[in-house]
A and B are shown apart, each in its own frame.
Chain A
């Protein structure tokens, strides 16, 4: 070890103490008192607001159209399968935004320095872990509270389930980290394995892992919860030990992408933010994207080949579309608040999945304002780029809906709405994507202060403008489900009207961008 402190800035323990000292001397730095106050406020919020809110929600959900679904025979297996599928998704997410991530500045100054990466990255990793743990614990407590309110289980059973959720959340955090650490082949293999395990879990006679601790029907709640927690702790421990194995190029690339996306999102450019998570294509460059035929075929073929060039993204999009369609179909065969929850979840999922297949539409709109390269105007290009995603997504919607209907026991008479709802919604969402692509910057008038006795509410129109695409997707889903009570023709009519409205809005926005 060199005696020169400049040549070797690491303290003997390899810790970050010197860096922390410098960082704490900033004028904006949080003092120890600030941190303690933050912890105090957080703890009080959880106790005063969070816990009673969950309990109240549990009481509200203990209804005859919700509880039977929570105590269904296959519920433990489904909870295991959903968790495994979530793990597969997190593994894939790790490729674009891993849990152990610093800002670009700290990545360049700390993670690229001689300080061990583990010393630098364990804090952000633990912060990310909080997301997966809370993501598991909150629904687990909600399910537990509902079943306790309905008198189906004791408080202890709900407690074991919550404990199992903590351990599972830690395992999911480790899976997320694995996605960041592994190369493309290993990552895909792990995600595929978890996906297959999710399917396999549905066929088991009993739930395992978190499913084993499910409050109703879980075979070994105590041992399952303890085992889940132990495995979770071990997985997190292993991940912390492996933090030093993360590659600098991965950290730099993800940090830059995350910061750009954050900047876009905070400046109300959500689609721009989402764009940073679209990795550039790297495969299938020899596939013939351009061929003979009429313009509609020319554009559709080019779009289809483009999808094949991002196989990972396309696979995720297809799976997400099928699952969302299945969830939407589920909303047509049950009733009550769970049906509406499934509708919102499925609509949101299908809207997100549709983003995978509409790069052509975005490109058509983006040619506006530049010297014309293509033989068609931006509006006509957009129209021609609609064909391929409409065909694919409506087909996926129908297949996913049919699959869910078959899995739900093929209830006679419910097949048509189960298939039509996701298929028609897919059509409307793709046309809506053209509208989203032509959105343009936020009008300045929306940021005009709106003083009221309750304060400035100008944030509300800004939030509405920001989330209009999502709100419209959810609204159209609700409209279609509502129209299903009138029959298939009503649903088709509502879908046609919503598509026409979306198309009209897209056209108006394109006109506004041109002028």
Chain B
């Protein structure tokens, strides 16, 4: 069961899906008779931020995992940039960046090198990758962490670095699972600005959050998921 904000309903009624980057209809996930997610429907256009809300266990992360192609829905359909989520589909992979749990870091690369390496693997030249990495560090005000290895970060710093790693790769759709985790008030403001900037640049963002401030400042559309019992 889920309820959707008024804005989202309007989008559906207009039935103009030309710039819709995310769409999911009647999505449910059942695992061994356990209902993880039930009948979720929603959409996000280019430049729009869809916020998933709901209590712990309501299926927010499950829905994000389905959208990221990490879990298969047992009901419903999902389209990301017009494609069915499938890890083997290069176009899908290129379209979607996601932060769902901590990313797999390399133990022997510094943070700035992680950012450069990720960009380089997506075909960005070495020089441009370096510039982009510095910009990302500046944007999240973690320039001082650039020369550190992943094991030298605090919990909150790891969260900011995880976000930076996710933003280092190109994408049209950005999925974020509780990006506010372990962040202080100032850092939360930085994350809000960074996410808003991605949406304003034409990306669609779907995020799950418990932070009233983050929801207030970012959510264009809200989808409230009911707790599964």
CB distance from B67 to the nearest CB of A (A): 10
CB distance from A99 to the nearest CB of B (A): 26
Please state if B70 and A373 are interface contacts (CB–CB under 8 Å): no
Q: Which residue of B lies closest to A292 (CB)?
A: B126
B169 in the interface (beta carbon within 8 A): yes
B204 in the interface (beta carbon within 8 A): no
A372 in the interface (beta carbon within 8 A): yes
Q: Which residue of B lies closest to A363 (CB)?
A: B106
Point out the residues of chain A lying under 8 angstroms from B96, CB to CB.
371-372
* B68: contacting residue among A280, A310, A371, A374, CB under 8 A: A371
Contact of A291 with B106 at beta-carbon distance under 8 Å, contacts A298-B120, A371-B97, A375-B169 already known: no
Number of interface residues of B (CB under 8 A): 40
The CA-CA distance from A373 to B170 in the complex, in Å, is 9
Interface residues of B in 85-140 (CB under 8 A from A): 87-88, 93, 96-101, 103-104, 106-110, 113, 116-118, 120-123, 125-127, 129-130
Q: Is the interface of A mostly helix, strand, loop or mixed?
A: loop
Please state if A290 and B108 are interface contacts (CB–CB under 8 Å): no
CB distance from B117 to the nearest CB of A (A): 5
CB distance from A197 to the nearest CB of B (A): 32
Please state if B87 and A290 are interface contacts (CB–CB under 8 Å): no
Point out the residues of chain B lying under 8 angstroms from A366, CB to CB.
104
A6 in the interface (beta carbon within 8 A): no
Interface residues of A in 39-94 (CB under 8 A from B): none
Please state if B93 and A372 are interface contacts (CB–CB under 8 Å): yes
Please state if B107 and A298 are interface contacts (CB–CB under 8 Å): no
A188 in the interface (beta carbon within 8 A): no
Contact of A372 with B87 at beta-carbon distance under 8 Å, contacts A280-B149, A290-B113 already known: yes
The CA-CA distance from A298 to B88 in the complex, in Å, is 23
Please state if B70 and A369 are interface contacts (CB–CB under 8 Å): yes
The CA-CA distance from A295 to B123 in the complex, in Å, is 9
Please state if A370 and B101 are interface contacts (CB–CB under 8 Å): yes
| Across the A-B interface, the 8 shortest Cβ-Cβ residue pairs | A371-B98, A306-B108, A375-B121, A292-B126, A375-B122, A290-B116, A374-B121, A280-B151
* B residues in contact (CB < 8 Å) with A: 68, 70, 87-88, 93, 96-101, 103-104, 106-110, 113, 116-118, 120-123, 125-127, 129-130, 147-149, 151, 165-166, 168-169, 175
Give 15 A-B pairs besides A302-B117, A370-B104, A374-B121 with Cβ atoms closer than 8 angstroms: A281-B107, A290-B120, A292-B127, A302-B106, A302-B113, A305-B108, A306-B109, A310-B108, A359-B107, A371-B70, A371-B166, A372-B93, A373-B165, A374-B118, A375-B118
